[in-house]
């Protein structure tokens, strides 16, 4: 089979390698500024570039013309988006050239935070109270009936990028007015203090084939806006968090029309009432090295399994998930004030991975004991904060 993979961020190398190893012809579409990134070129039949990654009519026209040219001598069986920002591109090209897979309507549920909240609410899945910013009267009604604080979120950004927290109607209108003609690209949502979880899944034939539930020890919002240390760890198996969020994630996937893909879904458990609320989802593997944490806990590499799943679906063959382990793992990542921090003082045998990135310090720890993982993450957070930690202002847009 022939796959066109789209990634305008350097990621997904394990997917590309596994896809080629399964006997497929693999093309990559990325942006020119990533030309010299260490893509696995031995696994790729060719790489195509666009100058810009924006989802603009001009870029869509260039993509369409490029794929039309490629199709003259080659057939494309599947198009796969490896990053959040490429989901719309892949959906557009599938519909334009009638290639099987997620179309533009379904893709909106995995990219547009307003569309996903409306769809979840209509399916009976709990969501924090929210409103679009289209209509002045609706905004005033929301501010009058929903208790602050609120967060104003971009509908199409990933992670905690572009989020602003406000505490009054006056502050809300100030942000809305500052957005000007871009206000329709945002929504407002009640800020619920609570614990945030992520559920990393492989879906096959509309059912969840693999699921790993984990809990952020510092929420992504806190890390992005407070300069904290990013931490996450797996939850106890068969517990309330594990079983409750597996069930809710299955409901989200069914409501949103997910057939087969990797996905990364986030929920919050409110401190006020103890209930789980849906926050957002995406049809991709989770970022921030969470895939590595999941692999050390379960033995499942999400990128490689996603590639095997896509191959099986394209060939109309059954997909078989490998045996899943039930270990525990946790991750810690921090900005560092040194370009190449010396972490040789961290020598616990549970360390199975260290980050290799300038001005960063990070570890993944693995154990059969969740309590041991928690103990290590807590002690490492204190040590990293005093010995290495640095903070930076939250970016307005993702870096290349």
Segment 291-318 shows an average pLDDT of 97
DSSP state of 389: B
Please tell me the distance from the alpha carbon of residue 259 to that of residue 263, in angstroms, as a whole number.
Answer: 11
Per-residue pLDDT at 140 exceeds 60 = yes
The pLDDT tens digits of the residues spanning 46-62 come to 999 998 777 788 889 99
Per-residue pLDDT at 196 exceeds 60 = yes
Per-residue pLDDT at 11 exceeds 60 = yes
Q: Which two tokens stand for residue 157?
A: 């950004």
- Where is pLDDT greater, at 84 or 329? 329
- The CATH number of 129-190 is 3.30.1490.20
Burial 315-338 (b: 16+ CB within 10 A, else e): eeeebeeeeeeebbbbbbbbbbee
The predicted structure's pLDDT at residue 86: 93
Band (pLDDT 50/70/90 cuts) for residue 152 is: very high
Residue ranges matching CATH 3.30.470.20 in the chain: 194-387
The answer to whether 319 touches 361, Cβ cutoff 8 Å, is no
Fold of 2-101: Rossmann fold (3.40.50)
Residue ranges matching CATH 3.30.1490.20 in the chain: 129-190
Per-residue pLDDT at 216 exceeds 50 = yes
Per-residue pLDDT at 275 exceeds 60 = yes
Segment 266-280 shows an average pLDDT of 97
Strands ordered across the beta sheet of 25-31: 46-50, 25-31, 2-6, 78-81
Segment 273-281 shows an average pLDDT of 97
- Cα 289 from chain centroid (whole Å): 11
> Between 1.20.58.1610, 3.30.470.20, 3.30.360.10, 3.30.390.50, what CATH number should domain 194-387 receive?
3.30.470.20
Average pLDDT, the chain: 94
The predicted structure's pLDDT at residue 227: 64
The predicted structure's pLDDT at residue 320: 95
Per-residue pLDDT at 393 exceeds 70 = no
- Where is pLDDT greater, at 360 or 393? 360
Q: Using DSSP bridges, classify how beta strands 130-132 and 78-81 pair: parallel, antiparallel or unpaired.
A: unpaired
The predicted structure's pLDDT at residue 399: 40
The pLDDT tens digits of the residues spanning 366-389 come to 999 999 999 999 999 999 999 999
Please tell me the distance from the alpha carbon of residue 341 to that of residue 90, in angstroms, as a whole number.
Answer: 39
Band (pLDDT 50/70/90 cuts) for residue 157 is: confident
């Amino acid at each position: 089979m022939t796959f066109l993979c789209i990634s305008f961020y350097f990621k997904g190398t394990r997917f590309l390698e596994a896809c080629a190893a399964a006997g497929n012809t693999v093309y990559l579409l990325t942006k020119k500024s990533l030309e010299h990134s260490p893509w696995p070129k031995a696994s790729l039949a060719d790489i195509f570039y666009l100058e810009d990654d924006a989802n603009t009519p001009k870029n869509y026209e260039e993509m369409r013309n490029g794929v039309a040219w490629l199709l003259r001598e080659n057939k494309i069986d599947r198009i796969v988006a490896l990053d959040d920002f490429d989901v719309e591109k892949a959906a557009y090209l599938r519909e334009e050239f009638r290639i099987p897979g997620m179309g533009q309507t379904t893709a909106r549920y995995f990219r547009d935070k307003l569309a996903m909240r409306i769809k979840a609410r209509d399916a009976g899945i709990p969501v924090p109270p929210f409103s679009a910013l289209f209509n002045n009267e609706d905004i005033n009604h929301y501010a009058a009936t929903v208790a602050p604080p609120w967060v104003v979120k971009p509908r199409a950004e990933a992670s905690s990028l572009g989020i602003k927290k406000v505490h009054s109607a006056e502050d809300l209108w100030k942000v809305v007015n500052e957005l000007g003609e871009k206000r329709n690209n945002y929504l407002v949502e009640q800020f619920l203090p609570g614990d945030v979880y992520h559920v990393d899944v492989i879906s096959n034939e509309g059912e969840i084939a693999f699921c790993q539930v984990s809990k952020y020890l510092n929420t992504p919002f806190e890390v992005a806006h407070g300069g904290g240390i990013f931490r996450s760890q797996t939850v106890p198996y068969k517990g309330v968090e594990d079983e409750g969020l597996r069930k809710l994630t299955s409901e989200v996937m069914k409501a949103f029309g997910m057939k087969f893909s990797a996905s990364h879904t986030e929920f919050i458990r409110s401190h006020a009432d103890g209930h789980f609320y849906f926050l957002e989802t995406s049809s991709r593997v989770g970022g921030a090295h969470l895939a590595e944490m999941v692999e050390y806990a379960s033995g499942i590499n999400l990128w490689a399994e996603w590639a095997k799943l896509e191959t099986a679906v394209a060939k109309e063959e059954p997909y078989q998930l490998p045996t899943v382990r039930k270990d525990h793992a946790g991750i810690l990542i921090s900005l560092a004030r040194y370009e190449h921090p010396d972490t040789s003082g961290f020598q616990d045998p549970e360390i199975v991975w260290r980050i290799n990135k300038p001005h960063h310090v990070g570890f993944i720890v693995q154990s059969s004991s969740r309590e041991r993982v928690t103990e290590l993450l807590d002690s490492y957070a204190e040590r990293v904060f005093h010995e290495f930690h640095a903070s930076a202002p939250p970016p307005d847009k993702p870096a290349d």
